[in-house]
Structure 1
């Protein structure tokens, strides 16, 4: 019989329309309120977001800071940098270009501050520029140096025949070309159930066909047999898709790039399960006999013929 396990840290409280606990990107689906932000929180955020969003923030910050200093130069008198053109927009753009030269310490020499007001503003801006670019350099190093797991999970789980019974499966793959050493997977099932008008979560540690392998140069299909030891064995395949249940997966392996063990979290809702399908092979042998892995075929499935 399936045995419940102690709450792994996800919380036993639930409601009828509770959302998934883990997002698709592996982050926990938790909204924080009354949270006091700190500079270290900003650092963690900036080294964790996507490269596109990171460079958008950098460029936006660069434009905003230069616009603020350009406005200060115009207020202090554009004649302290360059002769006025009589056009407010052109004067602002000239101040903006002078600000960008000052904050980056380029200093082409075509424009230079004259007078105390412009001198103090440019002096303070040079300091801001040095601090800002030092901070961005630190962020770039942090983004490259931060250990990150590179596991890709199949889009869906599948439900199919397995060893004279049934099983649910999902597949994973290494996004990079290095070899994962001693990968391990731990799968926790969370089922939201109603008792006496109140909803609560029950947790089960799912038994897997294999929870560890030595290497993972290609793909690895994780199999949970729906035998007598499975908490899901009492449900039909149609009932499985209707369960308010989630599989939370913790994958770990030794990464030779970072010289340490890295971890990655993922989850599947049982409602996302594809019924009576099997995964197609994601690798093949080329004409020279070399194993070729097609990363686009990780989630490729085919209906099982009856």
Structure 2
């Protein structure tokens, strides 16, 4: 594969290709009806914790404000509440929703009993839904996989090789680890139709019985590779993307962990290699330096054997 050992990727070209990346996480969908209530469960499970609790608190307050207004419509429906006091009715509604019922305020009319019963029912249902969502959020397996910011392309064992490094930040054992690398690019059919196509990139090693520290996957760019024949400028101008998918079983929780990372092909560091991050201390324990994890350097020339 012909490429210049120097990094000839220009900033403007890389930015243009990055914006046109085929597998970008940000997607603009046209012609689709969007609604706040559309796929509400997915939104609740994937939202940030701060957003989730803020939304839950807002819904709780709004429901109680609505019930306080309904109590105001009645003829003194709550005993020991000041007649027409919105704040007393609000806190009575809060007690009913939370099913605490302190006892100093209680319904004394059919209207008050009916509203309290409705409020208690909604409160119990809301508690069940919130508990289920919180459990689902906690129970979701999350892989703490750290991916290198950029792939690199350099000679390894005499062959041009695409490399991507990633690490397990928990340092626990992940069993039956598996990695897949795909190339996503636009192609044109014989009829002239433009379509997206996935190409699996063969790895020198795509499986590992245990994974606890770091792993650098390698794809040899030979005649069978979709990247064969591309120069550094071709890579810089490409709008194709690399998709790295990791999967393994967490030994601690016995759950399947998955993680992915998408790289615009224009971000490949041509003629670069990763800085070493693994070493051993005096006791023989493995030391991994995350401060250097994303660092790259110019690739070293292959050592020639003495004649």
- Relative to the length of structure 2, the TM-score reads 0.77
Q: 1:66 to 1:203 in 2, by over 3 A?
A: same
Q: What is the match of residue 82 of structure 2?
A: 83
Query: Contact 1:23–1:266 at 8 Å: present in 2 too?
Result: no
The answer to whether the Cα contact below 8 Å between 1:184 and 1:251 also exists between their aligned partners in 2 is: yes
Q: Report what 2:229 is aligned to.
A: 234
Q: Alpha carbons of 1:177 and 1:71: their partners in 2 closer, same or farther (altered >3 Å)? A: farther
Seen in structure 2, the aligned counterparts of structure 1 residues 114 and 271 have a Cα distance that, compared at 3 Å, is: farther
The 5-angstrom pairing of residues 110-149 of structure 1 reads: 110-149=104-143
Partners of 1:101 and 1:107 within 8 A in 2: yes
Which of 19, 22, 44 pairs up with 1:20?
22
The Cα offsets for residues 262-299 of structure 1, whole Å up to 9 and x where unpaired, read as 43333211123233333233444445442233455433
Structure 1: which 4+ aligned runs deviate by more than 6 Å?
none
Which secondary structure state, in structure 1, belongs to the residue aligned with residue 73 of structure 2? helix
**Structure 1 residues 138 and 79: alpha-carbon distance in aligned structure 2, compared to 1, 3 A threshold:** closer
- The one of 209, 219, 224 equivalent to 2:204 is 209
Of structures 1 and 2, the larger Rg is shown by 2
Match in the other structure for 1:68:
66
* 2:53 aligned with 1:55: yes
Distance 1:65 1:263 in 2: 38
Mark the runs of 5 or more structure 1 residues left unpaired by the alignment. 2-16, 86-90
| 209 and 178 in structure 1: CA distance in 2 versus 1, 3 angstrom threshold | same
Over aligned residues, Cα RMSD in angstroms? Answer: 3.3
CA drift of 1:198 comes to 4.3
Bigger relative contact order, structure 1 or 2, given CA contacts below 8 A and separation 6+? Answer: 2
Unaligned runs of 5+ in 2: 2-18, 302-307
Q: Following superposition of structure 1 onto structure 2, how do residues 255-294 of structure 1 map, counting pairs within 5 Å?
A: 255-286=250-281, 288-294=283-289
What is the DSSP-based 3-state SS (H/G/I as helix, E as strand, rest coil) of the residue aligned with 2:64?
Answer: helix
Shift of residue 245, structure 1, vs aligned partner: 0.7
- Residue 231 of structure 1 aligns to a residue whose secondary structure is coil
Deviation per CA, 1:171-195: give whole Å up to 9, x if none: 1222433211121111121221356
Q: Distance in 1 between matches of 2:287 and 2:150?
A: 23
Task: Say whether the 8 Å CA contact 1:191–1:201 is kept in structure 2.
Answer: yes
The size of the alignment, in residue pairs, is: 281
Scaled by the length of structure 1, what TM-score is found?
Answer: 0.77
- Greater shift in the superposed pair: 191-200 or 129-138: 191-200
**Mapped partners of 1:252, 1:101: distance in 2:** 47
Which whole-Å CA distance do the structure 2 matches of 1:298 and 1:52 have between them? 30
1:178 maps onto 2:180 in alignment: no
Aligned to 1:243: 238
